Structure 1
Amino acid sequence: MKLLKILSAAFAVLVATPLAAQMQPVPDRTEGEGPYPTLIVSGATMVEGSGAPPMGPVDIVIEGDRIAAIHGGAAPDAVRAGAARIIDAKGMTVMPGFVDTHGHNGDPSKAGQPSYGYKLWLAHGVTSVRGVSFYWGPGQPDLSDTQRSAANTITAPRLFPYAAFGDKWDRGPITTEAEAREWVRWAKAQGFWGIKFFNSLEPALLKAALDEAEKQQMGSVAHLAQPGVQRVNAAKAVELGMDGVTHFYGHFESLLDEAALPTYPQGYNYYDEQSRFAWVARLADQVVEPGSEEWDAYIDHLVDSGVTLSPTFNIYSASRDVMAAKNRDWHERYSLPSLMDFYAPSATNHGSYYKDWSTEDEVAWRKFYRYWFDLTKEFHRRGGRVTAGSDPGYIYQTWGFAYIGELEMLREAGLEPLEVIRAATVAGAEEIYQARGQTPPMGTIQVGKLADLVIVPGNPLDNLKLLYGTGHTKLNYETGAIEQVGGVRWTIKDGIVYDAPALLEDVARMVEAQKAAR
């Protein structure tokens, strides 16, 4: 009984507490140089984002916040002579700035200064983030952070705020279709770009909200959690007009083999996250086989609907090896002690569910991932859009590092390296701008596009580990020395050049300061 009370209280805190109430304000920007009248990124190999093969060397000419020209070889001498700055990127790869389609940044118990997450994102080449939501509850700084980032008065990626359906306002719960539409119009008027649905709605309310969202040109994405999946699984959600599905929720409930509803084990309790997440992996045992007629029909249904999948593979990766997750290379220097406290097994912290995590649980999750990978790869192969989202701040997934982990897992799922980069760049940009009927101003390296770029030593198409802030461990065969290579060198957002290693040093100082204070 005591444990049940603890779990119920934890759930109430998760869904109701304005977590950003004690968040510190983001300081004014002191990092980054530019934008320049003329900036040239010189001599790099370009991976331009659409899926085209690498090409180089190239000189990319940037004027202000826009790409003005791309020259094979070198820019004309007159252009180079007039440049305010030339970045020597020989031996490096330049790509469009990355887009994280699943971001959060609001919990003072984990990281009370939002610039901690913002700097880690930028240090890993992430120049745009969709917040789903950045902060919970009314009166939070989602919109002010968005405006300040757009004006480049804070050090942060470009921010696209979504609000959880029914959140942010103070007019009580939504119980009618008219109220659902009213909330959507209200959220649009406030400046939110889209809506995240947690699947606790009756289908009629969800349909009304999605219909109004389409009229208001707002995006929609769903976390189809178990409490509502019996009413709306992923197959039903896309029929009602959902633009995107994140995580795995709703897919396997759409593919059950011998029952109309999932079969839960004896003693199952959704509020006990150990029970919830241990059981989820066993759901793979209840679905049709990959490649079966039913499996193929479901994937065709998703592709035909035009839905986007943002799987966030990384956020559950600890479930298949929790020891590895808690000992990642970056935790000692870049994960705040308060964040590590939150990650540790807990009866109350969301996502800290491995209180008695067993070999059997990890083996079950490895099987679950095989099914989930197969579904995502086949969806992508048939023309479905897949994007990269990291859902940081939970389950040993620290900002920035978690995003690169997601790129590695997209590769593990079967996407080719160029397809992974496309998911991380133009696909994410298109998902964000699709509801508005607009061509995204970023996501590819093209003349006229925003100057959002990531520059990294070496070729991440050969090894995505080069993108981690901690770099990649490699033997130098000439000297016999073990070296750390890679790590993003520069991130450019709106033509402003950020020194990625310097941003990481800022974060390391935050970590050291918190350790010293303890």
Structure 2
Amino acid sequence: MSAARPYRYSHAGCAVCALQDSNLSAHEAVRTLVALGSDAQAANEGHASAAPSAPGAGDEIAALLTAGGAAIPADSPRLGGGGGGPRIGRRLLIRGATVIDGTGAPPIGPMDIAVEGARIVEARVVGHPHAPITMPRPAPGDLEIDASDCYVLPGFVDSHVHIGFPQQAKHGPVAPTEYVYKLWLAHGVTSVREVGSVNGLRWTIEQARQAGSGEIAAPHITPYALFPLPEYFHKTPEQARAWVQSVASVGARGVKFLGAQPGTMQAALDEARKLGLRTACHHAQMSVARMNVLDTAGWGLSSMEHWYGLPEALFTDRTVQDYPSDYNYNNEQDRFGEAGRLWLQGAEPGSARWRGVLERLLQLDFTLVPTFVAYEAARDEQRARRLEWHDAYTWPGVWEFFQPNRDAHGSFHFYWTTQHEIAWRRNYQRWMAFVNDYKNLGGRVCVGSDSGFIYNLYGFGLVRELELLQEAGFHPLEAVRAATLKGAQLLGREHEVGSIEVGKRADLVVLDRNPLVNTKALYGTGAVWLNDESRQVERTGGVRYTVVGGAVHDARALLAEVRAIVASEKDRRGAL
């Protein structure tokens, strides 16, 4: 059997692919587009020309990656019943649940939650724990869930995701969207912020439309466009403004930055604010010496991703990171290895500089999306590599993408040492202290997993991030709130989702173990426990149902489907 050819990016006007297929390298193809006039707005005005047009605004990175041999994921099948659902009734009733409402309030129950269409219409306390229910209850539904031994939470918001990554196609077909979406849903994720739309903005917007209309089983998707590489595009502030206008016009809800020339980035942030777009930034090392988090937050940036730019804002005895003389940013082990020594180069916790940065960011209503889980393999690579869910749930191409590889982003464990891990553990202590202090002052901290990189798997990564927030000092209720109401605020959708309240969208998670007692109960693999009655070691927990806009997904059935998808791909590869 011959290997299936990966699906190549084929959006109309993708001249990069055409040029690269003409024996140009990916970078040469992009440079050729620049020479032909790479202003995205001008290139999409439709003027007749013999020269190839540039990709549409927001599609530049997808075009660059696919020109280099990458691919975008196969679409999810349209829903037609069967499998993991969903089940949809005119009136859904969840009876007798203990509710964790997402606001930071403690659990309460038993409660009945009534849903009509996509909305919560009643959320009523109907009694007391361990006592017969004698209080009036809502009218029956045509679809009911007995949650008398269950906990119900708002659906989780994963504030930093990528729907697959095109580079995974270097190791066979890229993981299909069905696989990614079902892992998210099986772990209670009902909304995601797609920061970058690296598979193409228009492709991501179409995925968001299909998810929102219920055509596919997927969380609600908020698409952000990725501001293109500064060395290729947007030489002037005017070009940056035009690009932001273009992505807004096709439906982007935000813009993700990796860095840019400061004046250009200021202009783009200003234009995004004027158009009502939210903004996020991964302050990459190639730009952070010119603008750290204090700078970009002051220019109107909505949120920072990961940690980049924060230690630099805390410098008091230097202005740049203490790079070794032989450092090379394109060497991923250099990049991530030295990053593990960065936080200790900044101000001490509790110092005047430390407090000043916290207070300034708080004043600006700035949001931190730390993605602790995305870097955890740096402090214990062996643990991350042997996580128990990899065997059954990790797509083979994703697993191969995780392996050390000088050409793959994040696959940096070329020769990862004990000293690297010790440095990263110390790094985490300082990083976590800052994030916890910011939360304690009232700052917004959200849960983002950045799954699909560095042994960090979709769905499972969000649960691990909840655990790591608790390691940082968050109360379990604070961690849940970061994944629900705070995430909804970051999306600008707190009036719609993020807490269990009458009138809000019915995005809910139902499970049969208390996640405040043991967050591991949220993992698709559940938690290990000793059953003292049977004297047997058993598995317990796991999400039971995920409700998205009133549609009930059986999380266990979804996980079974994911296992089948992974097993089928392993069989296909074995037959090649």
TM-score range, shorter chain: over 0.9
Q: CA deviation at 1:439?
A: 4.4
C-alpha distance after superposition, 1:304-349 (max 9, x if no partner): 1111000000000000000000100100110112111110111111
Letter in 1 for 2:79: R
- Specify the SS of the correspondent of 1:17: helix
Q: Residue 129 of structure 1 corresponds to which residue in structure 2?
A: 192
Q: Residue 59 of structure 1 corresponds to which residue in structure 2?
A: 112
Q: How does 1:275-286 map to 2 (within 5 A)?
A: 275-286=334-345
Distance 1:15 1:298, change over 3 A: farther
Residue of structure 2 aligned with 1:245, choices 285, 304, 310: 304
Distance 2:462 2:411 in 1: 19
Q: How does 1:4-83 map to 2 (within 5 A)?
A: 16-18=64-66, 21-30=71-80, 31-73=84-126, 79-81=138-140, 83=141
Distance 2:197 2:183 in 1: 15
- Specify the SS of the correspondent of 2:431: helix
Distance 2:522 2:134 in 1: 27
Q: CA deviation at 1:112?
A: 3.1
Residue of structure 2 aligned with 1:100, choices 149, 158, 161: 158
Q: Residue 255 of structure 1 corresponds to which residue in structure 2?
A: 314
Q: Residue 17 of structure 2 corresponds to which residue in structure 1?
A: none
Does structure 1 residue 114 correspond to structure 2 residue 162?
A: no
Distance 1:256 1:78, change over 3 A: closer
Where structure 1 has 5 or more consecutive residues not aligned to the other structure, the ranges are 1-5
Distance 1:257 1:477 in 2: 56
Letter in 2 for 1:119: K
Q: CA deviation at 1:293?
A: 1.2
Distance 1:498 1:89 in 2: 15
Q: CA deviation at 1:105?
A: 1.3
Does structure 1 residue 188 correspond to structure 2 residue 238?
A: no
Q: Residue 217 of structure 2 corresponds to which residue in structure 1?
A: 155
Letter in 2 for 1:101: S
Distance 2:251 2:366 in 1: 24
Distance 1:14 1:497, change over 3 A: closer
1:103 touches 1:134 (CA, 8 Å); kept in 2?
no
Q: Residue 513 of structure 1 corresponds to which residue in structure 2?
A: 568
Where has structure 1 moved over 2 Å in runs of 4 or more?
A: 12-16, 18-23, 30-35, 74-81, 106-112, 133-138
2:97 touches 2:147 (CA, 8 Å); kept in 1?
yes
Q: Residue 468 of structure 1 corresponds to which residue in structure 2?
A: 523
Distance 2:349 2:541 in 1: 37
Deviates more, 1:365-374 or 1:37-46: 37-46
TM-score by length of 2: 0.84
Letter in 2 for 1:396: Y
Distance 1:333 1:299 in 2: 42
Letter in 2 for 1:37: R
Letter in 1 for 2:218: A
Q: How does 1:101-500 map to 2 (within 5 A)?
A: 101-107=159-165, 109=168, 111-137=174-200, 140-166=202-228, 173-199=233-259, 201-433=260-492, 439-500=494-555
Q: CA deviation at 1:92?
A: 1.0
C-alpha distance after superposition, 1:456-491 (max 9, x if no partner): 111101110000000000011122111100000000
1:20 touches 1:136 (CA, 8 Å); kept in 2?
no
Q: CA deviation at 1:266?
A: 2.3
2:73 touches 2:177 (CA, 8 Å); kept in 1?
yes
C-alpha distance after superposition, 1:188-242 (max 9, x if no partner): 111010000101x122111111111111100001100100001110111111111
Distance 2:486 2:563 in 1: 32
Q: CA deviation at 1:33?
A: 3.3
Q: CA deviation at 1:166?
A: 3.3
Q: CA deviation at 1:102?
A: 0.4
Letter in 2 for 1:17: L
Distance 1:14 1:70, change over 3 A: closer
Identity of aligned residues (%): 40
C-alpha distance after superposition, 1:71-106 (max 9, x if no partner): 11269878444x101101111110000000101013
Distance 2:489 2:137 in 1: 36
Distance 1:460 1:225, change over 3 A: same
2:485 touches 2:494 (CA, 8 Å); kept in 1?
no
Distance 1:285 1:70 in 2: 48
Q: CA deviation at 1:400?
A: 0.2
Q: CA deviation at 1:16?
A: 2.8
Quote the RMSD (CA, aligned, Å): 2.1
Q: CA deviation at 1:15?
A: 9.3
2:344 touches 2:430 (CA, 8 Å); kept in 1?
no
Letter in 2 for 1:121: W
1:163 touches 1:192 (CA, 8 Å); kept in 2?
yes
C-alpha distance after superposition, 1:7-57 (max 9, x if no partner): x99xx9999314874431221024423432111111110000111110001
Distance 1:495 1:453 in 2: 8
TM-score by length of 1: 0.93
Letter in 1 for 2:243: W
Distance 2:115 2:161 in 1: 28
Distance 1:266 1:150, change over 3 A: same
Distance 1:137 1:21 in 2: 11
Distance 1:75 1:116 in 2: 44
Letter in 1 for 2:188: G
Q: CA deviation at 1:261?
A: 1.5
2:164 touches 2:180 (CA, 8 Å); kept in 1?
no
Distance 1:134 1:29, change over 3 A: farther
Distance 2:265 2:250 in 1: 21
- Specify the SS of the correspondent of 1:317: helix
2:87 touches 2:553 (CA, 8 Å); kept in 1?
no
Q: Residue 3 of structure 1 corresponds to which residue in structure 2?
A: none
- Higher Cα radius of gyration: 2
